[in-house]
Amino acid sequence: MQSRRSFIKASAVTAASLSINSPLPPTLSSAVAEKPNPTILLRSSWNDKNIGDIGHTPGTLRILERHLPQAKIILWHASPRPVTEELIRRNFPKVTIVQGEFAGQNTSAEVMKAFESADFYIHNSGMSMNYGLFNYDWGSVMSSLTPFLYCHEKGIPFGLYGHSFDKFAPPSDLLFRDVLSRAAFIYCRDSESVKHIKELGFKAPVMEFAPDGCFGIDVRDEEKGLAYLKANALEEQKFLVVVLRTNTPHLGSTGQGNLMNPAQTPEKKAEDQKRLDKVKALITHWVRTTGHKVLIAPEALKETVYGKTMLYDTLEDDIKSKTVFRETFWNADEAMSVYARAHTIFGMEPHSLIMGLATGVPIMHARPVAHGRKGWMFQDIGLPEWLFDIDEAPASALQSTLTTIVKEYPAAKQKVQKAMTFVAQRQKATMDQLGKILSKSS
């Protein structure tokens, strides 16, 4: 862990390079206004081992293509993302993908060329703009902030799309506030994050709620998805999907763990047991009241192991006979084709649920509150009754809500439609704002 003194020294050096007291750059350079087909550079795709980190990318790309069809889009992957890239090349043939670091002398030539051609730079949905939430690694913070500094110096407008903000350990708030206040917009995927950055004194001209980019996802792999459903006798609208998030490390991890993948302490194991007892009770309730099947699906690669040993293997035999456990990880398009046929999706992580909503399927989100503000997005889009604290909500409350969805299914589907109509309105508003910046009409 970095000492406070070394942190302050590093921050001072960075601040000096920024010319902290200089006026903010113009929102739009004159070169942008003259271009009929502007170039948008999107940084995205944080991980190939988590379906949410895959799903952000096709979702935001679709939003951009739908609302700004004249724009050229360059997708920047700081590290190779072969799973995501396969998906993007199949579904977005016009998008150019560049790879490499933005780090001084080690900066990739194709990444630098992409920045030189960019008329706007977007940092996509996630929670990377935090310090002290996952760790105190100043280098990882600067890997996110440095591109913004370059944009500031070159007069390239930039923004953050569908982000969550949870922690700026002192004195990092000073630097984050200065750098991000220079953004053309900061769109937060939950209203609690908007409130947080405003309380900290961030001063970007637009700081509003806008849904996670994953809400724009519409990719499908019908061949694989339908084959999987058939092989496992999962009938359309007759199975419940269950998505876990356990207190377990990444597969093969030897580190001390972090917020999302903690070290295996007795306390964390007990917390998992308490949570999974509620999930197990929900599965049992579903099977015994509806007679239908359950699919335990992975949002993260590691749950293809832990979900089996910690949940599936513990089910009673009659329940297990009605439960399918997905043992292999999948790409977002196959998952979308399966989720679209589900009755309801229950999850402890949000992105499989977002994919379900995008296909019109009701959801229930029982999240660990400690995982951050992102869970509040479901309340923000009008679904508060489907949002739970997994550690506080009794098992009976989860079962009761699922029973209501089953009994009032047409009403539940209408609720999804209403929420997604609101999502679409917010997406359009964000793209209208970006369009104004690109056309210099604001």
* Pair 137, 246 in one domain: no
Give the pLDDT mean for 319-324: 98
Give the pLDDT mean for 36-62: 95
Strand ranges of the sheet holding 207-209, from the earlier edge strand across to the other edge = 96-99, 72-77, 39-43, 120-123, 158-163, 185-188, 207-209
Domain count, the chain: 2
Establish if 12 belongs to a structural domain: no
Q: What are phi and psi of 75, to 5 degrees?
A: -100, 125
pLDDT beyond 90 at 22 = no
pLDDT 10s digits, 221-259: 999 999 999 999 999 999 999 999 999 987 876 555 555
The whole-number pLDDT of residue 104 equals 73
Establish if 5 belongs to a structural domain: no
The whole-number pLDDT of residue 262 equals 66
By percentage, how much of the chain surpasses pLDDT 70? 89
Q: Which residue has the tokens 């001063």?
A: 203
* Pair 181, 257 in one domain: no
The domain of 249 spans 222-422
* Pair 192, 298 in one domain: no
pLDDT beyond 80 at 27 = no
Q: Which two tokens stand for residue 300?
A: 């993260």
pLDDT 10s digits, 380-435: 999 999 999 999 999 999 999 999 999 999 999 999 999 999 999 999 999 999 99
The whole-number pLDDT of residue 133 equals 85
Q: Which residues of 142-166 are buried (b: 16+ CB within 10 A; e: fewer)?
A: eebbbbbbbbbeeebbbbbbbbbbb
| Residue at 165: amino acid letter | F
At 2, the pLDDT band (50, 70, 90 cuts) reads very low
Q: What are phi and psi of 441, to 5 degrees?
A: -100, -5
Q: Which helix (H) or strand (E) holds 421?
A: helix 409-439
Beta-carbon contacts of 282 under 8 Å, excluding residues fewer than 6 positions away, are 242, 346, 395, 398, 399, 402
pLDDT 10s digits, 284-296: 999 999 999 999 9
* Pair 77, 213 in one domain: yes
pLDDT 10s digits, 159-201: 999 999 999 999 899 999 999 999 999 999 999 999 999 999 9
Q: Which two tokens stand for residue 399?
A: 């079962």
The whole-number pLDDT of residue 95 equals 98
* Pair 272, 385 in one domain: yes
* Pair 187, 260 in one domain: no
296 to 286, 314, 327: CA distances (angstroms): 13, 13, 9
At 117, the pLDDT band (50, 70, 90 cuts) reads very high
* Pair 115, 182 in one domain: yes
The whole-number pLDDT of residue 46 equals 93
Average pLDDT, the chain: 90
pLDDT beyond 90 at 336 = yes
Q: What is the CATH number of the domain that holds 207?
A: 3.40.50.11720
* Pair 263, 160 in one domain: no
Establish if 315 belongs to a structural domain: yes
Establish if 11 belongs to a structural domain: no
Distance separating alpha carbons of residues 209 and 379, to the nearest angstrom? 12
* Pair 175, 287 in one domain: no
* Pair 104, 234 in one domain: no
Establish if 45 belongs to a structural domain: yes
Beta-carbon contacts of 432 under 8 Å, excluding residues fewer than 6 positions away, are 67
Establish if 123 belongs to a structural domain: yes
* Pair 60, 197 in one domain: yes
Establish if 369 belongs to a structural domain: yes
The whole-number pLDDT of residue 35 equals 66
Establish if 381 belongs to a structural domain: yes
Q: What is the CATH number of the domain that holds 349?
A: 3.40.50.2000
* Pair 179, 290 in one domain: no
pLDDT beyond 50 at 8 = no
By percentage, how much of the chain surpasses pLDDT 90? 81
Distance separating alpha carbons of residues 201 and 326, to the nearest angstrom? 45
| Residue at 141: amino acid letter | V
At 137, the pLDDT band (50, 70, 90 cuts) reads confident
pLDDT beyond 80 at 437 = yes
